[in-house]
Each structure stands twice: as structure tokens, then as C-alpha cells.
Amino acid sequence: MSQPLFVFGVARSGTNLVAGMLNAHSRIALALDPLMPFFKALRDDWVEATCDSALVASYPADCALQDYYFGPLGPRLLDLVMAGQLTFATDRAELVSTIAARAAIESLKFSERLKSVAGATYKEILDGVLSRVVRDDGRPILWRGTKEVWTSEFIPALAKAYPDARFILIRRDPRGILSSLLQLMQHDSSQAAHTISYMRHWRKEVAVADHLLEDRSLHERLLLVHYEELASKPQEGVEHLAAFLGVEPEPGMLTPVMGEGGEGNANSSYGHLSSISSRSVERWRDVLEPGMQRTIEYVCGPEMWASGYLTPDTQPHARPKDLLETFVAAERKPGSWRSDTGSPSEALVHEAARWALLERPEAQTKDAAVLRQHFLFTPLFQRLRKIAQALKERQSINP
């Protein structure tokens, strides 16, 4: 009997690299990115079932996956998703076909197998999807599952549905992610994406991971992997991944395989590599424009503190008005989805409010609703505020 395995992360964060390393193991099989329609439909049905007219109106069917910031309904939707159950019934006749169509982007073979999936609940449909994840060489599988982006908040629902499942979360410096994205957009305009939404989703992933890692029921089931460590020390990374899954590491894991019968393309969007390389780790320093770097550090700065990408002694140096040009530039190439309101000036007001909350005295930061709108989870805000306050005290001593 195989066990379910799910890999999550922000796009361009190294999820393909990790999935490729795992797919190279003789007893592991992962499908790449088939479940976006599944998760969106599941969220839509959960929202509709609340009969909450405000929630339904704010998040219409098939809208973009959200980052949950700033609006009063954002945290409510996040709570709904993280409390959801896969046993929810579905009569969506088109769901399986949309999953199969999404899967075809990566594997036509897998897509064909998915067309025979059936089920009356989301759990039954996902059971069918997972059962069709097979190895091209026909070997028996110990772990089978999927790799997905943008959807880590669905981990609690998956964990409840599959008590023996394991979860791997990939994290990468947001400056590296945006650098990779911008490079990709230069070569393929169809890959254009709203850069500010990317940043907001990155910090959402940090907040969700921080929350999940405090869940004792997930302590031995959830692994956080930093892309930079994996790319710089791949042998140690292979051993760490294998230990987490209780399998022996295999040499082939150092040559990632990108899917069923696929070929490895390693870990760079800057060109083909034949093996895992650490060159991408610091490449953002050479290619990221100063304005974009300042924007990333302003939008993601507190969560970069929590993740070790900015030291607690580093205060991002920027003012909202200085970042307006970068926010407006994002409007020119928003791509096919976004999770903000579409107003750069409004967005900057909210971003400034996040920093103001971190700098206020504790007595002025008691409104849990406001804190959640700006940081999603109150414990994370409290941890970030301690870092901000300690930095402020050091700066007052040594101006």
C-alpha cells in the first residue's frame, strides 16, 4: 500500500526541483500540478455552502486563489479553507475533465488515465487521481502524490482526509523567485504575472507554514525545505528528504526527473542545466533591479525576517511613495490572475499599515481583526513585532 505525498510552494520557488528529485527515486511517483481546478472548485463549494452572501459576492466561482490580506473577509475565507473537509459532496460534471486538462500540460499519459476518474465526493475524486499516479517503469510505489503551487492552506483538509499522508513545503528567497519570474517573462510573454500578487502570496505561504508547523498533529508529517540549502548542498538535501519519507536515498535523486517518463531540467529558468546547481541561489543580486529589490523587501520584509532572508538587524529602506513606480509597472503586465484590488495607491496604504502596526506599542495592537487582515495569524504578528521592536531599540541606542 502506498501513502499519499503532497509537495507545495510558490511558483518559481523550487517545487519542480524537489518533485524531480523525488520522482527520481525508484519508490516515489509525483504528478506535476494537476489539482488547481480541484482546489478552486472545492473552495467555491465551501464558500457557497456557507450561505454567507458577503463571502459569496466577494469570492465568485473560479476567482483567483487568494492571499487573504487586507479585506475583512480575507481571514474568514482562510479559516473556512483551513477548516474544510474533503468529504464534501460534489456534482460538478466537468471537474474531472478540467483536472485532466490541467494535467495534460505536464503529462498526456497521466491526463488520459484521469479521464476515467469518478466520485460523489471530493475525497473520492482525489482518491481516483492519486491511484492513477504511477511510475513509468511499473515499479511498486511507497509514496504517490502531487506537486502543486499556491495552495498550502489546503494541507489541513488533506491531512484530515489522509492520516498517513506527508507534506513537503518549499520556501525560497522572494528576491530569487521574482528574479526567476522576471527572467521567464522576458523569454515568454505568456508567462507574464502580477509581481505584487506573487509577493503577497509568498508571505501568505510563510504565514500558513508558520501556523501549520505549530500544529502538533503535523509535527512528523510536514517538512519545510529551503531551496537555497537544497541547491547548495544537494546530497544533504537528498538524505533529508529520504529520511523524512523513511526510504533509502538513491544516487539518481541528484538528477531530477520532471514527471512520468520525463527528462530532468534541473533547477534554473536561465537555461538548461544537467544537474542541480547552486548558481541560481544568489543570481538575483546580479539581475534584480534596485527598485524591484526594494519593493520585495518592503512588501515581504517582516516575513523575510522570520524566514532568515533578512537579518533581524536589517530594516528595509523604502517609503511607499518611492515604490509607486514598481507597483504601477506591475499593472502593465498583470498576467492572467491577481489577488489584489487593482489599485496601486490603495495597496501601498495597506503595506504602510503593516509596518506601522509592527512599530506601535503593544497596547495599540490589540485588535485581532486588524492584525489578521495584515498578517493572517496573530502569533506570527507577535513574533514579527518583537523583531521590529528590538531593531527599533538598537537603532535608538546607535542612531
- 123 located within any domain: yes
Same domain, 48 and 116: yes
Out of 205, 234, 250, pick the residue that ends a domain. Answer: 250
Out of 250, 266, 293, pick the residue that ends a domain. Answer: 250
Same domain, 246 and 288: no
Say how many domains are in the chain: 2
Same domain, 246 and 295: no
Same domain, 198 and 90: yes
Whether the CB-CB separation of 37 and 151 falls below 8 Å is answered with no
Whether the CB-CB separation of 27 and 139 falls below 8 Å is answered with yes
Same domain, 126 and 195: yes
pLDDT given at position 26:
95
Same domain, 65 and 138: yes
- The range of the structural domain enclosing residue 322 comes to 284-391
The CATH number of the domain holding residue 243 is 3.40.50
CA dihedral 357, 342, 12, 299 (to 10 degrees): -20
- 95 located within any domain: yes
Same domain, 62 and 149: yes
- 396 located within any domain: no
- 228 located within any domain: yes
Same domain, 293 and 181: no
Same domain, 246 and 292: no
Same domain, 246 and 309: no
Would you call 10 exposed, middle or buried from its count of C-beta atoms within 10 A (0-12, 13-18, 19+)? buried
pLDDT given at position 266:
44
pTM above threshold 0.75: yes
- 31 located within any domain: yes
- 257 located within any domain: no
pLDDT given at position 270:
47
User: What pLDDT, in 10s, does the model give residues 351-378?
Assistant: 999 999 999 988 788 899 999 999 999 9
Same domain, 135 and 24: yes
- 268 located within any domain: no
Same domain, 115 and 177: yes
- Divide the 399 residues of the chain into consecutive groups of 10 and give the mean pLDDT of each group: 95 95 96 98 98 97 97 96 97 96 96 97 98 91 98 98 98 97 88 94 98 97 97 96 98 82 47 67 93 96 96 83 93 90 94 94 89 97 94 74
User: What pLDDT, in 10s, does the model give residues 54-101?
Assistant: 999 999 999 999 999 999 999 999 999 999 999 999 999 999 999 999
pLDDT given at position 170:
98
